[in-house]
Amino acid sequence: MKCSVPKGTRDFLPIEMARRNYIFDTIRGVFRAFAFEPIETPALENLSTLMGKYGEEGDKLLFKVLNSGNFMEGVDFADDYHRVAPRICDRGLRYDLTVPFARFVVQHRDQLTFPFRRYQLQPVWRADRPQKGRYREFYQCDADMIGSPSLLNELELVQMADMVFARLGIRVVMKINNRKVLAGIAELIGAPDKIVDITVAIDKLDKIGHDGVIAELRDRGLTDGQIEALQPVLALNGTATEKLDQLEKTFAAVEVGLKGVAELRELFGYIQSVGTQCQVELDLTLARGLNYYTGAIFEVKALDVQMGSILGGGRYDNLTGIFGMPDVSGVGISFGADRIYDVLTELDKFPANLEQSAQVLFINFGAASLPYILSCAARLRAAGVSTLVYPDNAKMKKQMEFANRSHVPFVVFIGEDEMRDNTLTVKNMAEGTQQTTTLDDLLKTLTV
Amino acid sequence: MKCSVPKGTRDFLPIEMARRNYIFDTIRGVFRAFAFEPIETPALENLSTLMGKYGEEGDKLLFKVLNSGNFMEGVDFADDYHRVAPRICDRGLRYDLTVPFARFVVQHRDQLTFPFRRYQLQPVWRADRPQKGRYREFYQCDADMIGSPSLLNELELVQMADMVFARLGIRVVMKINNRKVLAGIAELIGAPDKIVDITVAIDKLDKIGHDGVIAELRDRGLTDGQIEALQPVLALNGTATEKLDQLEKTFAAVEVGLKGVAELRELFGYIQSVGTQCQVELDLTLARGLNYYTGAIFEVKALDVQMGSILGGGRYDNLTGIFGMPDVSGVGISFGADRIYDVLTELDKFPANLEQSAQVLFINFGAASLPYILSCAARLRAAGVSTLVYPDNAKMKKQMEFANRSHVPFVVFIGEDEMRDNTLTVKNMAEGTQQTTTLDDLLKTLTV
């Protein structure tokens, strides 16, 4: 029988667990410093909670769970499979942490104190085509605040991202945009349905130049008049503040655009006031998650590695509306733990000695010394020292090989002398030295 | 739209997360002290990995995940639904952590050092009928050692269980049996297929008395001769050692039974040598997991609460055999985190103040004091103090209500005086006192 995991899923070995936990602990520590509280939602959600929230493509990528019992009863299998699937599946696997969070807020609104900040570190599932850096089962690390329109929330998310990547030692650039500015641009040129086409084209300015962008805009169906109206946006340059000044003039009477400029101005003002370690840029081509973002849009990229974004986020003014609780504004960020893992690996930035394996191994010489060994081991373990007793009275060579391969730093030998004198002979495996000591002294060495 | 989670699944609010993490951290701490290393396996496994490993009933209780794309192609839906399901589902949700671990060991054998000890804290899914204390999505906390037949492994599992429940403050009894003894009894009376019937009947000895048990054994199809041969087992009494002495005589030449007695003798010898805080009993009626246990069988029950077992485990000599890697002996235990949660709740044994909410809240008086507040907050957060700045310049009453409902212990007020003097006015919410202090002093109070 062939042993394997499903395509796009992974096992995590102890060393990988240690590295992943290093990332999770760093993120969790920052979330807690900013007073976010942990919640968890079930992996299984009602399919009705998930369907229609991620677009048509998203509905296809939902993993659907077959009903138990006779799922076939009363179902017409001559119908199209798209229509059959939701009839034989009432539940699906969580696709992200945002929609379940919205459902959670509505369901538990009476138990929560608003503004409410929660964080959530859990796996999500997508039936995407697996490829390098894209998995079907992967972890998201989300922090959202809900119930306050203040831009101080946006500031704190920027600070949190900055703190996490500084602590992980990853040099990054944070890009910020605002959906209202994008809406303003579309309104300005009279092409409200072309936001995505416009941003995709503008995004290539560095690569294909001004004329290239114009050609692309024309390919994407913009009229000459619209392209002409877009000129001031294409010509934007300078610092964030300078760009915002130019935009404000360009928008003139486009209200939504001016609101976006004002929000960005306030946010960049805060950011300059507190300062960040990472680069923060205004990027008018940033358009991720247009489905539900209504204000700020965030994205972080690593500077020293070629990799997609390692954080995304934004403000959504009406996420809980889909579950019947309107007018609750939220803003959040999501760290891509798997990509951060890949970045740290590529940069070789994981701390050494992360793996928590045994610190002490007692060599097993058979029944005579066992009671003595077990009582020493019990004391070490009670003090939290990771301790192994080799379980079998195997040949010394085999036991030492095990010690070497397991990277145990201290190996203890107990013979008649040690039992008589109430001592231990301890070999320091890194230094190759050996000395006789007491349990108390060993404990002190190990728990300092 | 109605907001709910699927039957048998749950959301966890921050207070529940804090309590669950208290249990997980306690268990994890003990696992680490005994040098177990963490691994994780995917929630999704190939259905071929899971099917046929949990009996016919288990196959039915597996959550199966519908294939993506046109799952209907080439499938005959006129067939029985039991046969259709595995044709339209290649993957299923993990049913326990043991079978995935066996698969993991076989798949990664070349990367592991044996004897290998792993722990794993992950959810599992079963399409069981939900009821009090039984969920469809729940967490298991497993520790297994694989690749060593030594009974020292069994001893360490007993010690670990003992340490966990002592640390959680739950008084428990640990019951131990051995599959070989059960096999010996069945052989002794010539009814090898009746092990379960025999143990179920004997288990009722306290409730229905000697004659009741005999009547039940007869109902379950045992002959008078078999019941007669079972008499010495029914008459067993005394300490573990005394029972083992009687059993040894009874078994006379039943080899497998004698082997079981010898194993139990060795294990109880070790346990007596190291001592435990909990009661440890030999229980010949314990027969859980007969499907794959081959040696020791463990179970823990709380003494002060009516509840099913809160830990189970045992030795399985050939678990990896199903994946083509024979002769690797393993032994493990599994903590039932959800039931432990219920026990601690019922006994009111959760430590107070587990919830990690904000320690400090800065009242928001508007733009003038914001830069000062943000710089104070940044310093507290960098030091790991969970800090909130109220995001909106709301009425004082509203902000203080928020502080009360969120149980924030310290509320900070910044006015002109504080900014001029570089101080903070801090209200201790528990004591109702208020004093003006410096950031350094506040930091010292909070990080001691």
Contact B104, A106 (CB under 8 A): no
- Name which residue leads in pLDDT, B42 or B213: B42
B405 pLDDT band, cuts 50/70/90, is very high
CB contacts < 8 A, A to B, total: 275
Phi, psi angle pair for A121, to nearest 5°: -120, 100
The C-alpha atoms of residue B55 and residue A328 are separated, in whole angstroms, by 49
> Does the bond joining A351 to the residue before it have cis omega, within 30 degrees of 0?
no
| Binding-face residues of A in 182-241 toward B, CB within 8 A | none
Which residue of A29, A153, A273 is in closest CB contact with B374?
A273
The C-alpha atoms of residue A398 and residue A402 are separated, in whole angstroms, by 6
Which residue of A9, A37, A45 is in closest CB contact with B357?
A37
Phi, psi angle pair for B140, to nearest 5°: -115, 150
Q: What is the mean pLDDT of residues B67-91?
A: 92
A119 pLDDT band, cuts 50/70/90, is very high
The C-alpha atoms of residue A343 and residue A349 are separated, in whole angstroms, by 8
- Name which residue leads in pLDDT, B61 or A134: B61
Closest CA–CA distance from residue A355 to any residue of chain B (Å): 9
**Is the model's pLDDT at A159 over the cut of 80?**
yes
ipTM of the complex: 0.93
Q: Residue type at B101?
A: F
- Name which residue leads in pLDDT, A202 or A262: A262
Residue B441: per-residue pLDDT? 96
The C-alpha atoms of residue B1 and residue A152 are separated, in whole angstroms, by 32
Tokens of residue B135, six digits: 């969920």
- Long-range own/partner contacts, residues B106-111 (CB < 8 A, 24 or more apart): B106/A3, B106/B320, B106/B323, B106/B324, B106/B325, B107/A3, B107/A4, B107/A5, B107/A11, B107/B323, B108/A11, B108/A13, B109/B325, B111/A13
Which residue of B1, B43, B385 is in closest CB contact with A43?
B43
The C-alpha atoms of residue A385 and residue B278 are separated, in whole angstroms, by 22
The C-alpha atoms of residue B428 and residue B408 are separated, in whole angstroms, by 9
* Choice among A121-130, B194-203, B398-407 with the minimum mean pLDDT: B194-203
**Is the model's pLDDT at B206 over the cut of 90?**
no
| Binding-face residues of A in 54-113 toward B, CB within 8 A | 60-61, 63-66, 68, 70-72, 77, 81, 84-85, 88-91, 93, 103-104, 106-108, 111, 113
- For residue B123, the chain A residue with the least C-alpha distance is A43
Residue B236: per-residue pLDDT? 87
Name residue B145's beta-bridge partners: B117, B331
Q: What is the mean pLDDT of residues B133-138?
A: 91
Helix axes B370-382, A14-33, angle to 10 degrees: 150
* Tens digits of residue pLDDT in B243-277: 999 999 999 989 999 999 999 999 999 999 999 99
Closest CA–CA distance from residue B243 to any residue of chain A (Å): 24
Q: What is the mean pLDDT of residues A176-190?
A: 93
Q: What is the mean pLDDT of residues A107-121?
A: 96
**Is the model's pLDDT at A290 over the cut of 80?**
no
Q: With pLDDT > 70 as the criterion, what percentage of chain A qualifies?
A: 98
Closest CA–CA distance from residue A218 to any residue of chain B (Å): 35
* Tens digits of residue pLDDT in A41-54: 999 999 999 999 88
Q: What is the mean pLDDT of residues A348-377?
A: 93
Q: Residue type at A225?
A: G
Residue B356: per-residue pLDDT? 67
* Tens digits of residue pLDDT in A17-34: 999 999 999 999 999 999
What 3-state class would DSSP assign to B218? helix
Residue B290: per-residue pLDDT? 61
Torsion of CA A36, A41, A47, A53, to 10 degrees: 10
Average pLDDT, chain B: 93
DSSP characters over B137-151:
EEEEEEEEEES---T
Q: Which residues of A touch B389 (CB under 8 A)?
A: 152, 156
The answer to whether the CB atoms of A118 and B14 lie below 8 A apart is yes
DSSP characters over B329-392:
-EEEEEEEHHHHHHHHHHHT-SPTT-----SEEE----GGGHHHHHHHHHHHHHTT--EEE-SS
Q: Which residues of B touch A90 (CB under 8 A)?
A: 6
B286 pLDDT band, cuts 50/70/90, is confident
| Binding-face residues of B in 121-180 toward A, CB within 8 A | 123, 125, 127, 136-137, 145, 148-150, 152-153, 155-156, 159, 163
Q: What is the mean pLDDT of residues A129-137?
A: 88
Q: What is the mean pLDDT of residues B7-30?
A: 97
Mutation choice for B interface testing from A7, A13, A125 by most B CBs within 10 A: A13
Tally helices (H) and strands (E) across chain B. Answer: 17, 16
**Is the model's pLDDT at A144 over the cut of 60?**
yes
Which residue of A153, A324, A387 is in closest CB contact with B1?
A324
Residue B112: per-residue pLDDT? 95
Q: What is the mean pLDDT of residues B416-442?
A: 96
Q: Which residues of B touch A356 (CB under 8 A)?
A: 32, 37
**Is the model's pLDDT at A289 over the cut of 70?**
no
Phi, psi angle pair for B121, to nearest 5°: -120, 100
